[in-house]
Amino acid sequence: MQPAARPRRSCLAVPGSSPRFIAKAQGLDADEVFLDLEDAVAPAAKPAARRAVAQALRDGGWGGRVMAVRINDVTTAWAYRDVVDVVEQAGPHLDAIVLPKVTGPGHVVWLDLLLGQIEQAKGYPVGAIGIEAQIEDARGLAAVDAIAAASPRLAALVFGPADFMASLGMRSLDIGAQPAGYAGGDAFHYPLLRLLVAARAHGLQAIDGPYAAIADTEGLARAAASVAALGFDGKWVLHPGQVGPVNEAFSPSQQDYDRAERILAAYAHYTGEDQRGAALLDGQMIDEASRKLALVTAARGRAAGLTPTRGAVPG
Ligand code: GLV
Ligand code: MG
């Protein structure tokens, strides 16, 4: 993972056509808000939604969180105007564009070039707007390595379970939940791990998609804890009630965070003053690989605002 990347534990989807939801999103604790122009906006409402999204970005009040807009996919008639209108009107207030239904590197290259043209024409810093590529069908997953390498603007790969389930023909109507009847364990294990490996091979964050059963907080927490354990950085949320459980799932516990800081401090001492490569700490051998693992947890803990418990880490 990139320790310096901005946290994206919870990425809140907000329909770009709903001023009420846009206003409400400002008060929530999501690490990222993305204003949607794609599947949450009806075709006839898309032009007005573009204007509303650009206005909401320009108006500000979003704090330090990552601000993104999901445009329509590159095969639609809407995609180019989504980019042109939103970026021309509000580019300096935009951190990233979420590009859905990416099936090959050409989609990302198209967006990269178009963004570069608008940035130059408007005098914005070139390359400042990032791209989050949604992998949500069989073709996208098959091409995920090439997609992950397609542009230096890429910040994250995002798994899209709803479209992915449809693409594969999974027998389920419950987005993000395990398909009933599947006896092989986690039906999403392969695509999630595949996406994660491609993301990490190119220094990108890995984000899981939505869990649609809003009232099922337990199921959401289980799904989030599982991908967090695998190594993912965050997950989409669709409702204010999903933000807290998802932030929690992607933040290390105080105990794990303390332990990570303790490993880092002890390892620095052993390799520095004692000039040893491996040592015993709290009954476990630690070496250079332990330091790398501890760095991941420590970086996530610091990003989540944790500080070491007094006395847990040698000073
Ligand atoms: C999100 O876009 C999904 O398809 O799950
Ligand atoms: Mg989708």
Give me the pLDDT at residue 5, please.
Answer: 81
Residue 315 has pLDDT above 80, yes or no: no
SS3 of 248-313: the string is HHCCCCHHHHHHHHHHHHHHHHHHHCCCCCCEEECCEEECHHHHHHHHHHHHHHHHCCCCCCCCCC
Residues 6+ apart with CB under 8 A from 77: none
Interval 198-202 mean pLDDT: 98
* H or E element at residue 156: strand 154-159
- Phi, psi dihedrals of residue 227, rounded to the nearest 5°: -70, -30
Share of the chain above pLDDT 90, in %: 92
Phi-psi region of 305 (alpha: psi -120 to 50; beta: other; left: phi over 0): left
136 lines ligand 1 (CB under 6 A): yes
221 lines ligand 1 (CB under 6 A): no
SS3 of 33-100: the string is EEEECCCCCCHHHHHHHHHHHHHHHHHCCCCCCEEEEECCCCCCCCHHHHHHHHHHHHHHHCCEEEEC
209 lines ligand 1 (CB under 6 A): yes
The radius of gyration computed from the CA coordinates of the chain, to the nearest angstrom, equals 21
161 lines ligand 1 (CB under 6 A): yes
Interval 196-210 mean pLDDT: 98
pLDDT tens digits, residue range 230-247? 999 999 999 999 999 999
Give 161 Cα–ligand 2 centroid separation in angstroms.
Answer: 7
pLDDT tens digits, residue range 48-66? 999 999 999 999 999 999 9
Nearest to 31 by CA among 49, 17, 12: 12
Pocket test for ligand 1, best of 12, 14, 36, 39 (most atoms within 8 A of CB): 39
Cα distance between the two ends of the chain: 27
Give 159 Cα–ligand 1 centroid separation in angstroms.
Answer: 7
pLDDT tens digits, residue range 106-165? 999 999 999 999 999 999 999 999 999 999 999 999 999 999 999 999 999 999 999 999
Give 138 Cα–ligand 2 centroid separation in angstroms.
Answer: 13
160 lines ligand 1 (CB under 6 A): yes
Q: Which ligand has the minimum distance to the alpha carbon of residue 212?
A: 1
- Phi, psi dihedrals of residue 279, rounded to the nearest 5°: -155, 170
Name the band, by pLDDT with cuts 50, 70 and 90, for residue 297.
Answer: very high
Give 221 Cα–ligand 2 centroid separation in angstroms.
Answer: 21
Pocket test for ligand 1, best of 73, 159, 175 (most atoms within 8 A of CB): 175
For ligand 1, atom 1: residue with the closest CA: 160
Give me the pLDDT at residue 1, please.
Answer: 46
Nearest-atom index, ligand 1, CA of 164: 4
Q: Tell me if the pTM is above 0.85.
A: yes
Give 35 Cα–ligand 2 centroid separation in angstroms.
Answer: 14
Give 305 Cα–ligand 2 centroid separation in angstroms.
Answer: 31
Nearest-atom index, ligand 1, CA of 163: 4
140 lines ligand 1 (CB under 6 A): no
